[in-house]
Structure 1
């Protein structure tokens, strides 16, 4: 009996490794994601090597992350997010916005969505131009230091103002801070910021898990908007953010240092659909 079970398991394993995987590619201001409809729970969620392979830009599909859309007993769907290194990660704002557009394409939702991510409940809306407004978590604590600000918007973010954003070597400087004693083994995402106008900032982000600069980071620009307000760099509760991949906006309400009704707003676009053998 043991040998029979072993043969069956081996066959299933080999069959799984040679199956054709249907995927969808989405991007939100240049932050790109592999989307997989996993409502039947077929995807091997603990296979970090597979996720890393799929996200690899040389040998796989190529993406900053991979996202599974799954059923949820209470909400419209569940979001499961992996960084490009293959590990499940904390919240991804642009990924969440892209997943809402994907859910609409699958006809899981119409123009509004409620879903669960690793950091809890999220509400979102999507208009006819695929502009997605995603409600982020409330933020009650911001650490303000002389040279940087730190807060968690679903993912941890270090915010640092710089004089000349274009000259910053984001990969090298970001890695130094990400792996420094300041954040220990867990690390942090690192955002370099310059102010453009009272309500507009430019941002470049080093993302942990990707371990490089990305064209956009949703939780990052959300953190920047709140940090700039907390540091009295802006008095607007709707902040515009220029990123390498386009433009985003963040709106919020603030009371006694706490932020609520925080929305990340921007485009989420379908790129292509394909199949890959795994």
Structure 2
């Protein structure tokens, strides 16, 4: 069977998009998804995303990491599937869709950027050397010196597989401050098991963590990732971060076919 796929990227975080409204895709075939995401033996991507029908909303997002396993929420993937849904005629410029962490709203702006509402964050755990929070996916956030030369792969893997997070692990974000509301971020992603050029839930987690630590008083924060720039905005009400929005580009790269 020949399958049409679409390739998208959001600040360098790249995804294989498939219109699965007819429910033909073999969702439990971990090896197939892993092979398609492989950068030498397949299409190459940080993850694969299925767009499916949903009774509550415009569509449902089903996300798989490049290891072939279904995972938690992906912020950049969420922004990219919104752009994909518009390309194939499912939506116009506004949408409400379902994901593993619940319903999300999003808007495609005139400049093509996608603003995606993320889940509210009621609990932020502040430790001596790091902050931990869940923004749809679990994130460990820590400030480091000389981020440019920091070994993200080595240090990220050490934390991801440490006793802190058990078998499930955590994504790991390393951060440096540029100015009052501007930070630089590098992320080690579980499921990819490497540094990615961008992580949307990681950028969201970092913005909130820096606010909690008092590194910024702004509620709109710029984050430079390896693949570009993202913005995160939020409101804080009674120690809960709500109206959380992740904004950035979601770019169509190419389309093609693969055989199941």
Q: Distance in 2 between matches of 1:204 and 1:76?
A: 33
Write out per-residue CA displacement over residues 116-174 of structure 1, whole angstroms, 9 at most, x where no aligned residue. Answer: 00000100000232200000000000000110000000000000000110111111110
What SS does the aligned partner of 1:193 have? strand
Q: 1:277: Cα distance to partner?
A: 1.8
Structure 1 residue aligned with 2:212, among 230, 251, 255? 230
Q: Distance in 2 between matches of 1:101 and 1:129?
A: 12
TM-score under structure 2 length normalisation: 0.99
Q: Does residue 121 of structure 2 align to residue 139 of structure 1?
A: yes
Q: Distance in 2 between matches of 1:58 and 1:129?
A: 33
* Segment drifting more, 123-132 vs 264-273: 123-132
Q: 1:192: Cα distance to partner?
A: 0.1
Q: Distance in 1 between matches of 2:5 and 2:47?
A: 13
The answer as to whether partners of 1:230 and 1:257 remain within 8 angstroms in 2 is no
Q: Does residue 85 of structure 2 align to residue 103 of structure 1?
A: yes
Q: Distance in 2 between matches of 1:182 and 1:79?
A: 29
Q: 1:211: Cα distance to partner?
A: 0.1
Question: Which residue number corresponds to residue 48 of structure 2?
Answer: 66
Q: Does residue 157 of structure 2 align to residue 185 of structure 1?
A: no
Question: Which residue number corresponds to residue 11 of structure 1?
Answer: none
The equivalences for 1:251-270 within 5 A come to 251-270=233-252
Structure 1 residue aligned with 2:9, among 5, 9, 27? 27
What are the ranges of 5 or more consecutive residues in structure 2 without an aligned counterpart?
Answer: none
The answer as to whether partners of 2:233 and 2:245 remain within 8 angstroms in 1 is yes
Q: Distance in 2 between matches of 1:254 and 1:164?
A: 31
Question: Which residue number corresponds to residue 242 of structure 1?
Answer: 224
Q: Distance in 1 between matches of 2:82 and 2:112?
A: 9
Q: 1:256: Cα distance to partner?
A: 2.4
Work out which of the two has the higher radius of gyration on C-alpha atoms and give 1 or 2.
1
User: Paired residues, what number?
Assistant: 260
Q: Distance in 1 between matches of 2:213 and 2:160?
A: 22
The answer as to whether partners of 1:178 and 1:188 remain within 8 angstroms in 2 is yes
Question: Which residue number corresponds to residue 83 of structure 1?
Answer: 65
Write out per-residue CA displacement over residues 18-56 of structure 1, whole angstroms, 9 at most, x where no aligned residue. Answer: x11110000000000000000000000000011001000
The answer as to whether partners of 2:56 and 2:98 remain within 8 angstroms in 1 is no
What are the ranges of 5 or more consecutive residues in structure 1 without an aligned counterpart?
Answer: 1-18
Question: Which residue number corresponds to residue 50 of structure 1?
Answer: 32
Question: Which residue number corresponds to residue 7 of structure 1?
Answer: none
What SS does the aligned partner of 1:242 have? strand
Structure 2 residue aligned with 1:117, among 64, 79, 99? 99
Q: Does residue 194 of structure 2 align to residue 209 of structure 1?
A: no
Consecutive aligned runs of 4 or more in structure 1 exceeding 4 Å deviation: none
RMSD (Å), alpha carbons: 0.6
Q: Distance in 2 between matches of 1:130 and 1:119?
A: 25
